Amino acid sequence: MTAAPTPVQQANRHSDNKRPQTPSRLKHYLTAMLLILLVWGSAWKTESTLGELVQGAPNMLDLLKEMFPPSWTYMDNIAPAMLDTIRMAVVGTTIGAVLAIPFAVLCASNVVRNVWVFYPVRMVLNLIRTIPDLLLASLFVAVFGLGLVSGILALSVFSIGLVAKLTYEAIESIDNGPLEAMTAVGANRMQWIAFGVVPQVIANYISYVLYTFEVNVRAAAILGLVGAGGIGHYYEVTLGFLQYDRTNAIIIFTLVVVLLIDFISTKVRERLL
């Protein structure tokens, strides 16, 4: 007679039955083929070829030669414009972050449970995020004219879409226990939000605002190309007059400023989270 299996043997046999199977290589092959088809189809529709890239390589090298050495003396001319760019990003981010708060609350399905409210507001946010910042700046330039005001308004609208999207997703992932407890003791909706929602998302919200500010500094650097002021105006001028050494100085100056802001913002976010 065969001895009955011990509990340990039964457990091992049970675990062997549940062991996941090795994924088939066919899936990887199909994924690779799909990516190759997408790349090939995109290149065919855009009429871009590897031969054109090879033919244009000498022209790119000539452009790089004209960009070096950078015109360091041009830094004195662009410093005020860079300060305007940073101010534009600060004001635009601040306005957008404040206006994003009601949007984020109205989009959160665990706060506003009426689908006829949060779905339409989400559609508005999707529309805002669909419009590029350069197009927003062009629209505001057409309405308010050239200058920093158009750039600030464009960055404000862009910030609303980004901050509200990230914040309402953070609200939907909070712990609902405190909210249920406050509801049980008779708290109204404003108390519910102020003491149950805000304390759980405030750190994330500040982190999202800082991240948006980083993005806006980069965006503000090119809004001048459409007349929204800032350092972007000098990009347009130097490129138009083929002064590539000055363009290179602007690029390096912008890079240093952006890296410094990114470093400071990252350290602040690390302390918050």
Which sequence spans correspond to the domains of the chain? Answer: 80-176+202-272
Half-sphere exposure of 93 (CA within 13 A, CB side): 22
How sure is the predictor about 79, in pLDDT bands with cuts at 50, 70 and 90? confident
pLDDT at 93: 92
| Mean pLDDT estimate for the chain | 80
Other beta carbons within 10 Å of 161: 21
Instruction: Kindly report the CATH number that applies to the domain delimited by 80-176+202-272.
Output: 1.10.3720.10
Q: What is the pLDDT of residues 96-148, one digit of tens each?
A: 999 998 888 888 877 777 778 878 888 888 888 888 888 888 888 888 877 78
Calculate the alpha carbon distances from 16 to 7, 9, 20 in Å: 14, 10, 9
C-alpha 218/C-alpha 251 separation (Å) is: 11
> Does 194 have pLDDT greater than 80?
no
C-alpha 241/C-alpha 149 separation (Å) is: 27
CB 191 within 8 Å of CB 100: no
- End-to-end C-alpha distance for the chain, whole angstroms: 64
DSSP state of 70: -
Global pTM value: 0.75
How sure is the predictor about 174, in pLDDT bands with cuts at 50, 70 and 90? confident
C-alpha 261/C-alpha 86 separation (Å) is: 10
